[in-house]
Structure 1
Amino acid sequence: MKYNEAIDLLLSDRRLFIESLVQIEDKSQSLIPFVFNPIQNDIYNTSTGRDIYVKPAQIGASSYFIADALVDCLTVRGTTAVIISYDEFITGRLLRKAQNFYEILKKRIPSIDKMVHKSASEKTFERTHSSFFISSARSFSGVRGETIHNLILDEFGFWMPGDAERVFAAALQRVPLNPRTKVRILSTPNGEDNEFYETYMAAKEGKKTGGSVFTHHFYRWFDHPEYTMPSDSMFALPGDEHPELDNLQPDEILLMDNWGLSFDQIRWRRYKITEVASLHRAGKTRLLFQQEYPEDDVSCFQSAGDQVYDHNQVNDMAGRCYPAPLNMMFANIWEDKEEGMNYLVALDPGMGKTSESVATVWRFTELSENNPKPFIHVATLSGLYPEDEMAEKTKDLAYYYNTAIIAAEDSLGVISHLKDYPELYYRTDPVTGRVSGNIGWHSNVSTKPYMITEMNRHLHMIDTHDIRLVAQLRNIRWIQGARGERAVAVGADDYHDSAAIAIVCRESRAVERGLVGVSGWPDSWGR
């Protein structure tokens, strides 16, 4: 075959081009031909041009997309390829990988297009006038208004909420409706309340009905052939050194029966579960096995490892949720009022048309051996209501529940619309017992950690059937800041905050056995 014929063949077959000419470092840091593994092969065969991928860690998806984008820039005139990742560190790694791929290609084919500009975020090519742009979501500000032909959103599940909304919509609108353009979204799972989960589920459930333009793809860890461990491995756990494992657990038997897993794969799984759990307990990682190495596309989203609240406990709470059997007074009601019972209504006011206002109704009883969940969430009122309307609806609901005490957050103007209600929560000095003249719970950067701590401490005592509250428990995450780790909301938290207000203000309400007392904070606390 002549040289020109060989080049034409390579240019007509993307897989042949990459596998023949690109080299990649394997996990032992040796350069090897970039031969597609089974997951990369499936990505190549099933790509539609608008795709979203849930994947295990370290299976080479990012490497495939970088190589594909680079070849586009080198072979298709005027291509603009954009890769956006979630932080600066990962962005730097992706940039170095793209540079390494290019340098390897340049050595093997000296005549390929010359790179005429390379910076910390952009590489451009002389003859094709193509550009390869790599940025973090936080620093992305567009590509000088250019059309984007190949858009890759890397680890999209870990983007901060504001970045996901701002960057995703803006970048997507730059991609023309052309069969040659590509939009690929990929990530390991990171909980349910984020753009990645919403986009994936919309693609999974709505593609056939026109509810999404994306095709969903899900890969399990055992789709990757490297994730296996022989019995003679130095890393095999004690008791796992035998070729055939004789102490299989029910979940392992199911995996072997349903998916044909081998003993070597089960052995690897056991090691990784133990390894990740050890790191998690030591505080060295927040990632869980089900998140890094998904086995199905339901449980993997319910196991975000940086959750503040214990994921097993939250999953157990989710299993007890069901639709409210009664709906009246604009509220979802799981337990109707009982005469003579005392109730508390906790109100977290929203921003009218932009965030929900949520009022939850609670009945607090005595903890006992026969009553392990004495914090009973009985009803929820929520909606995009302005402050005055939400206040009136909350008062009506509180009157219905035996003139319940209303404990409202005092940060918004809703308090002025509650002052005519007879039973309100007033902040009280927890040491002296002095009741202040200030209505409501004061939420700020100093009191929010206390709210989350109290919620976490009493989570096992909460009896709720509202899936919206449980879902938002997963949105409270540990984030590393300049002063160490802190708990913050990475998504909506209106239902969570309403429940947290109820927990910290609960002692202002008489329990069934008698008045317990009052609690609160001095007016200056946290200011």
Structure 2
Amino acid sequence: MSLLDRKLNSIADDPREFISRLKLIDEKGIERKFNTPFPEQVLALDDFLSDATTVIHYKPRQIGDTTVAIAYNFDYLYWAKDPLRTLVVAHTYETTDAIFGKLQHFYRTLPHALKRDIARSNRKELLFDDTQAGFRCMTAGGRGHGRGWTYQRLHADELAFWPNAEEVWASVTSTMHAGPHLKTIVLSTANGPGNLFHKKVLAAQEALRQGDKSVRFRFFRWCDHPAYKKEVPSGWEPDSEEYELAQVHGLTMEQMYWRHDRINGISGIGLSQFRREYPLTIEDGFAEFDGAWFDQDYLNEVLSSIQPRDGELRIYERPKPGYNYAMGVDPSWCNGGDYAVAQVLSADGRQVATLSMNKGGELLFATKAAELAGHYNRAKSLVESNPGGAGTVVIREFHKYNIPLWTQPPPPGRKLSTSPKYWTTSRGSKQEAYAHLRQMVNGDALTLNDQTTVQELMHIREQSGKIEGQDGYHDDHADALMLAEWNRRGMPTAKLAPQAFRRRYVAHRNPFNDRLRLR
């Protein structure tokens, strides 16, 4: 084998090497090699090269995620020996044309020694002559939805903005074929709550909590993109809200001025739209501030400081000898529908553990919840016991483990009944308990540590007299926290007064701050 052949083989065998040699037109209109990627593009390529069959990226605008996804699939199909097909679906005709233009430019600018013949290259399709592997680019809502070919790979671009997204998704995924080459890549900026992309993000987060290795999810903050900064003019100072935001997220003055100008400048888009297009936390693009039960800005700040945990049982603080703990239990039948959740709070209001299950049956959940209560010094437990619900199973199991249970106190002047009354959720009791929880949460009297719980709290709203999760969110974690806090408030050492000054939550250092490059 000649030296040239060995070099070509080494390029073909190394996706990063091949991709770094592709040429593109950058945001300044200059043609260059793809060898100085943004930090986000490096992390994105790691996700695409993983064994995961589904990759979901929630991103701000213009960070180059689409470019690296197209380059990754171009490399995969270019060296494939089988007639693999990739379907790319974008939200507008202009984006479809731009994506196909990137593919054509990758091919046209390949060195002669690497270039192979193509059988077809038109407005929608690029097909290699020898292997018949190729791409088809389409617009969501256009005719066909990928029919005519069978695909092994899908790139869904800006899914949040697809017209008739559910219908189009069903159509394009029906053309996918399972096998060793299967890969679905979903990239999008947020477009508010409740749409298909939002559902995909929630499903991906749940898959990660369950330890599903077939799914990769990544959220990119705008402040980690190196281009999003602007020289600060003389005399400009951030206001108090901007200053606090900078403290929480570690923003520089240049980043703060870029944000300020993008919101309030001549070409500004306003705060609400900015939050969707340039999120700082995972909920920025999905939050609805109108009618929210809890303080959204405060919870968003808390969310920025939380590291996600996976698994059914998430322990945030080990039990301490002699400490009192309160548990709230929102049971379910654990048959694949609603979650059964147990939340544990310390007497001074720290969220120390969360157990959540929706499979395995109510008895398995009851056993695990009872064991968790026992682990936390036989935590006094408030179990929801609605007629016909799974609460009776949980209560029976807690009795076996000798766990003390919360019961309704007798009315003033009456003795405690020999038949204890457990918690039942009515519109009145839920309103009262959620009002108390709101006072504690908004007053910074609780230390919240569980990402799923905080996300659910952000989407609790009152509609038609009902307090419940909206926008596609469950409210089981929020309800269990409500029960735990109602239970905790009766403890002798419970802290019930809101903080005079709110704690400052500081986000964990983000690894994107390290400048990474493809080799």
Match of 2:257 among 250, 267, 281: 267
Size of the alignment, in residue pairs? 321
Match of 2:236 among 235, 239, 242: 239
Aligned to 1:367: none
Match of 1:84 among 89, 102, 119: 89
Aligned to 1:334: 427
Matches within 5 A, 1:103-502: 103-105=108-110, 108-109=111-112, 111-139=114-142, 141-160=144-163, 162-168=164-170, 170-171=172-173, 174-178=176-180, 180-209=181-210, 213-231=214-232, 236=233, 239-240=236-237, 249-256=243-250, 261-275=251-265, 278-280=268-270, 288-302=273-287, 312-315=289-292, 334-335=427-428, 464-467=465-468, 471=471
| Offset, 1:65 | 1.1
Contact 1:153 1:184 in 2 (8 A): yes
Look up the equivalent residue of 2:254 and give its one-letter code. Answer: D
| Offset, 1:175 | 3.3
Match of 2:68 among 53, 64, 68: 64
Aligned to 1:30: 30
TM-score for both structures, normalised by structure 1: 0.53
Contact 2:263 2:270 in 1 (8 A): no
Gap runs ≥5 in structure 2: 299-329, 331-383, 390-424, 430-461, 473-519
Higher RCO, 1 vs 2 (CA within 8 Å, ≥6 residues apart):
2
Alpha-carbon distance between aligned partners in 2 of 1:131 and 1:280, rounded to the nearest angstrom: 42
TM-score for both structures, normalised by structure 2: 0.54
The structure-2 alpha-carbon separation of the partners of 1:464 and 1:288, relative to structure 1 and needing over 3 Å to count, comes to farther
Look up the equivalent residue of 2:30 and give its one-letter code. Answer: S
Look up the equivalent residue of 2:196 and give its one-letter code. Answer: E
The structure-2 alpha-carbon separation of the partners of 1:111 and 1:43, relative to structure 1 and needing over 3 Å to count, comes to closer
The structure-2 alpha-carbon separation of the partners of 1:70 and 1:247, relative to structure 1 and needing over 3 Å to count, comes to closer
| Offset, 1:71 | 2.1
| Offset, 1:87 | 2.3
What SS is found at the alignment partner of 1:96?
Answer: helix
The structure-2 alpha-carbon separation of the partners of 1:205 and 1:329, relative to structure 1 and needing over 3 Å to count, comes to closer
The structure-2 alpha-carbon separation of the partners of 1:202 and 1:328, relative to structure 1 and needing over 3 Å to count, comes to same
Q: CA RMSD in A?
A: 4.0
Alpha-carbon distance between aligned partners in 2 of 1:19 and 1:220, rounded to the nearest angstrom: 24
Contact 1:142 1:171 in 2 (8 A): no
| Offset, 1:115 | 2.2
| Offset, 1:141 | 2.7
Alpha-carbon distance between aligned partners in 1 of 2:177 and 2:45, rounded to the nearest angstrom: 20
Alpha-carbon distance between aligned partners in 2 of 1:103 and 1:182, rounded to the nearest angstrom: 26
| Offset, 1:218 | 0.7
| Offset, 1:291 | 1.0
Contact 1:10 1:17 in 2 (8 A): yes
Alpha-carbon distance between aligned partners in 2 of 1:26 and 1:335, rounded to the nearest angstrom: 59
The structure-2 alpha-carbon separation of the partners of 1:123 and 1:266, relative to structure 1 and needing over 3 Å to count, comes to same
| Offset, 1:209 | 2.5
| Offset, 1:140 | 5.3
Deviates more, 1:134-143 or 1:208-217: 208-217
Contact 2:146 2:172 in 1 (8 A): no
Contact 2:86 2:154 in 1 (8 A): yes
Look up the equivalent residue of 2:122 and give its one-letter code. Answer: S
The structure-2 alpha-carbon separation of the partners of 1:147 and 1:248, relative to structure 1 and needing over 3 Å to count, comes to closer
What SS is found at the alignment partner of 2:12?
Answer: helix
| Offset, 1:212 | 9.1
Alpha-carbon distance between aligned partners in 2 of 1:183 and 1:34, rounded to the nearest angstrom: 23
Contact 1:318 1:467 in 2 (8 A): no
The structure-2 alpha-carbon separation of the partners of 1:65 and 1:46, relative to structure 1 and needing over 3 Å to count, comes to closer
Contact 1:148 1:176 in 2 (8 A): no
